[in-house]
Amino acid sequence: MAFQVNAHVGNRTASSHGVVERIMTDSDRRAFGLDGDNLFRAVERFRGRWPTGAWVRSPAIAGGVDLYQAYAHQGWRQVVTRLEPISSTIHHPNTDRTTVVTARLSNNSSFPGEFFANLSNETTNSATTSWSSTHGIEVGQSVSYSIGVVSGETSFGYSYQWGRGGEQTTASSVSFVTGVTVHLQPGQGVIVRLLAEQGWARITTRYRASLTGHVAQNFNPPHQGHHFWAHSVNSILQASGLPTQIFIENTVDVGFFANSHVDMQDLVTGVIVPIGTDKIFRPLALKYDEIKEDDEKFADEKEQQKGEHKKETKH
C-alpha cells in the first residue's frame, strides 16, 4: 500500500502509516551489504566456512531442488524486506500576515452611496521534498501528504514517488475571491484589503527498512554432516557487522496561504476596520443612527435646494 503522511501545521501534529513488504530485491541486497560475494563472505563469517551456494530468495537450486520449497515445512522462508514509516514531525512552523490584493474606493460625487469592491487573486501552495541520498532502498510506491493549515481550513495534498533522488517541487493554485460593499460619504475614500496568513513548515518523516527470513546455504562437501543449512538473515548480518535496519529520512518544506479576511483603511484618518463580506460597511467610526441622520439631513437639504430652484424658475 502507498504511504500516507498527515500533518496539521496549526496543531503541530503529524502521523504516518503504510507498509511495504516484498521479497528481498537486488537493490535491497546492495543496501544491506549482501550483494554478490558479500553474501558468501557474510555466511563464511557466521559459519566459519565459505559456502558452495548462498541465497536470500528463490530459486535457490541445490541438489536439483529449490531449497526454500523443499524445506518450507521446516520453516525456511525467503528473505523479506519490510519498509514502514516510524515517525513524522513538524518543525519550525511559522506564519506571517500578508496582503493578497487591494482595491481603492472613492466617492467623488456629492451624494452618499454604496460602492462595491471585487477582490480576487490567485497564489500557490507549494511543497519541496528531499530524501536521504545514501539509503539505496527502492520502492515503487507513492507517498501522499495531507497537510492541514489552521482549524477549519481545508487541507491540501501532494503525492510523490517514494525515495526519488534529489528534490521535487509541486505547487497548487489557491484562489482568493470575495466582494464587499462599502457605504461612503461624499469625498470619502477607503482602501479595501484582502489579507491571508502566509505560512511555512518542515515535515520530517523517518522510515525503517528491516529484514526477516533465512539465508539458504549449500556446502559441498557437507558442513557438520549436512549439505543444506538455513539461518536467520539478521544473525548473519550481525556476525558480519552489517546493519539489520536502515533508516531513511524524507523532508518536505511546505508553503501555504490560509485564514483570509478583509479589512479597510480610511484614506484620510488611516483607521483600519476589520470587515466581513455579507453586509454594507461604513468606514467611519460613527453609530449607525448618526450616519442615518447625516444621510437624511443631506437628502432633506437636496430636496430643499430642488424646491428653491423650482420657485426661481417660476419667477
The answer to whether 146 and 6 are in contact (CB under 8 A) is: yes
Per-residue pLDDT at 134 exceeds 90? no
Average pLDDT over residues 172-192: 84
Average pLDDT over residues 249-270: 85
The average confidence (pLDDT) of the chain is 82
Q: C-alpha cell of 303?
A: 430636496
pLDDT value for 29? 95
pLDDT value for 215? 98
* Band (282; pLDDT cuts 50, 70, 90): very low
Per-residue pLDDT at 145 exceeds 60? yes
Kindly report which listed range (101-110, 115-124, 287-296) carries the lowest average pLDDT score.
287-296
C-alpha separations of 171 from 40, 127, 151, 175, 273 in Å = 48, 6, 22, 13, 33
Phi/psi at 73 (5° precision): -65, -15
pLDDT value for 155? 62
Residue type, 314: K
Per-residue pLDDT at 164 exceeds 70? no
Per-residue pLDDT at 297 exceeds 50? no
Distance CA(141)–CA(249), nearest Å, equals 16
Per-residue pLDDT at 264 exceeds 50? yes
pLDDT value for 287? 29
Give me the percent of the chain exceeding a pLDDT of 70: 81
pLDDT value for 196? 83
> Looking at 107-155, which runs of residues are DSSP E strands?
113-131, 142-148
* Band (298; pLDDT cuts 50, 70, 90): very low
pLDDT digits (tens, 9 = 90+) for 183-222: 899 999 999 988 888 888 899 999 999 999 999 999 999 9
pLDDT digits (tens, 9 = 90+) for 42-72: 999 999 999 999 999 999 999 899 999 999 9
Average pLDDT over residues 235-260: 90
pLDDT digits (tens, 9 = 90+) for 13-43: 899 999 999 999 999 999 999 999 999 999 9
Supply the Cα-derived Rg of the chain in whole angstroms: 36
pLDDT value for 294? 41
Residue tagged 510523490 (cell numbers): 160
Sequence spans of domains, the chain: 3-97+121-175+196-248
* Band (280; pLDDT cuts 50, 70, 90): very low
Average pLDDT over residues 142-159: 71
Q: What is the largest CA-CA distance in the chain?
A: 137
Per-residue pLDDT at 147 exceeds 60? yes
* Nearest of 136, 99, 139, 138 to residue 119 by alpha carbon: 99
pLDDT value for 78? 98
Average pLDDT over residues 97-123: 88
Q: DSSP readout, 250-298?
A: EEEEEEEEEEEEEEEEETTT--EEEE-SSSEE--SS--HHHHHHHHHHH
* Band (271; pLDDT cuts 50, 70, 90): confident
Per-residue pLDDT at 286 exceeds 50? no
